[in-house]
Amino acid sequence: MDNAKNIIDLHDVQGNIMVNFAGYGCHKSRYFFLHISNAAHGRMFIKNITGLVSTAAFMAEKDEDGLIIPPLVTTNIAFTYNGLKELGIPTLTLQDFPDEFVVGIRNRASILGDDLTSAPEKWDAVYRKDIHLFISIDGANEALIEERYQQIKDIIDDSLKECKEEHLVPADQASGIKILDGCRDDESDNKAYQDASVVYEEVDGQKIPTAKEHFGYTDGISNPFFKGMTPEMGEVLGGGKRVGYGSPKSPASWEPIETGEFILGYKDEANEYPAAPIPKLFSKNGSYLVFNKFHENVGKYHAYLDAASQKYDIEKELLAAKYVGRWRNGAPLTTYPKKADAEDAWKVWSAAQWQVGKLFAAIMELKGKIATEQDPAKKDLLIQEKKKLLAEYFGAAANFKVINQTFTAFNYDDDIPGSKCPVGAHMRRANPRGALEFGNKNAFANPSALDNRRRIIRRGLPYGVPTLDSNDKEHGTIIMTIVSNIKRQFEFVIQQWLNYGNDFKLANDKDPITGNMGEEGGQMVIEGNPALPDDPAKFLLEIPRFVETRGGVYLFLPSITSLNMIGKGIVDPT
């Protein structure tokens, strides 16, 4: 990965672009939105909070043992167009932002298919207010989240005092920053924040964090891998772009995607720099973040799954896998078409992942003991034990990386008709992995030429606690999509690939899981296997809307340099 070195200043890019913090132990999150009514107070707050904003620098700053030590709590911040305008960003800069960002996500509802139960008037109240700032807190536990939340509230108050001391506002100026209420949970429709958490499973009396969402699927296994990422940040096999027709398990078949597909200021897959506001320092190392709150109708999902599996004579878990393209344990259907093989693969995968986590925890515990041990002889024994565990840890980490590739390094070249993974499955729609050539090799410059410009980074966590028959309670997933072009990436994928089927030769069929099904329901083709007479195609009908939009915001995610410029009021486009 030498070509990825030193491309990106990891101290300048906000960390949630480069890293999924949940994968590094931040299993809880809190999201909240602010409104600014006084520019001076707003800028002072940005100036004072910038020191708390988390970057991905920790990924490149290993300790003396070669370990990455992740933060226990993180903070990231983003702005709406109206927020930047309220903070006094010059007109020459503002007018360079794309139209979709300027008008905001509510005014793009018809493009995104947010109608009926997903219509903006149905959203949580906070998303119908004039949001200016978005702040996310990720932490290892709820206490750390609450502590950081209170710290940010104190910064708001202290920033106002500082403004008064510097005579930037009148002495009787009320707070010019308000945390907006209107977030909905099972207890209230008017909370000041949205909490989220990984889903836990109980194993031997212990609550174990998982990567599952509320339908039961293991989520977030594969994300884009682009130039500037370190090997610890992701997997180029399956996460990068296809560069040939070799085995998907071969490193020669994949390369990192161009950085400009996700971060402003770098060349993209068209060998161009993505459009960005001036001055260059303001936009470089920034990105766009689309925040969505998606409600999951868990009861409808399980009811339809039960009924359809009986009606169409297909095993329930296989049908669930056909919807998405992965078994619910995360094993890709095109690689593991048989349930037993998928279960065996998952056992190997999860055991390897567990071993890495177990060894890391043991090493961190030893490091604590070494730091406090006063007896030289005992300390030396602890150091020797640590060396042994470190060797085991790095071996286990390397082993897991190889095993993980069985879940990420695949394409659909051997499954063009969709007899293993349906052509209309969610995962195949969201990231076709070169399948849009439909077996016609060299139709494009490279197999994934059409895909590469539509890739999206996904962050976020589930919220709420559903039961198997629950539809009306507050539960679903917070999804934060990171791109360099909202229209070309996020909006295109939603409109053309998830809510429409023409690119997949499926007419107007929608994504079976996330599609905006009408009142009459949707449909899905589950292709059969022509070589097996007892495996005909199945046509699923009257699929209900399993996922509903409950809120959304289009945001600009600036660099640390840009945050400093905003806070000091020195953005100068001339």
Distance, CA of 204 to CA of 208 (rounded, Å): 10
Q: What is the pLDDT of residues 125-182, one digit of tens each?
A: 999 999 999 999 999 999 999 999 999 999 999 999 999 999 999 999 999 999 999 9
Arithmetic mean of pLDDT, 418-427 = 96
Taking only Cα atoms into account, the Rg of the chain, rounded to an integer number of angstroms, comes to: 24
Q: What is the pLDDT of residues 276-301, one digit of tens each?
A: 999 999 999 999 999 999 999 999 99
In sequence order, what are the residues at sequence separation of 6 or more whose Cβ sits closer than 8 angstroms to the Cβ of residue 297? 471, 544, 545, 546, 547, 548
What is the model's pLDDT at position 6?
A: 53
**Region label for 333, one of left (φ > 0), alpha (ψ between -120 and 50) or beta (otherwise):** alpha
Q: What angle do CA 143, 195, 109 make, to 5 degrees?
A: 160
Q: Under DSSP, is residue 218 helix (H, G, I), strand (E, B) or coil?
A: strand
Using 50, 70 and 90 to split pLDDT, how confident is the model at 4? very low
What is the model's pLDDT at position 541?
A: 96
Lowest average pLDDT, out of 72-76, 241-245, 546-550, goes to 241-245
Using 50, 70 and 90 to split pLDDT, how confident is the model at 244? confident
Select the more confidently predicted residue: 3 or 28: 28
Using 50, 70 and 90 to split pLDDT, how confident is the model at 1? very low
* E strand or H helix that includes residue 110: helix 109-112
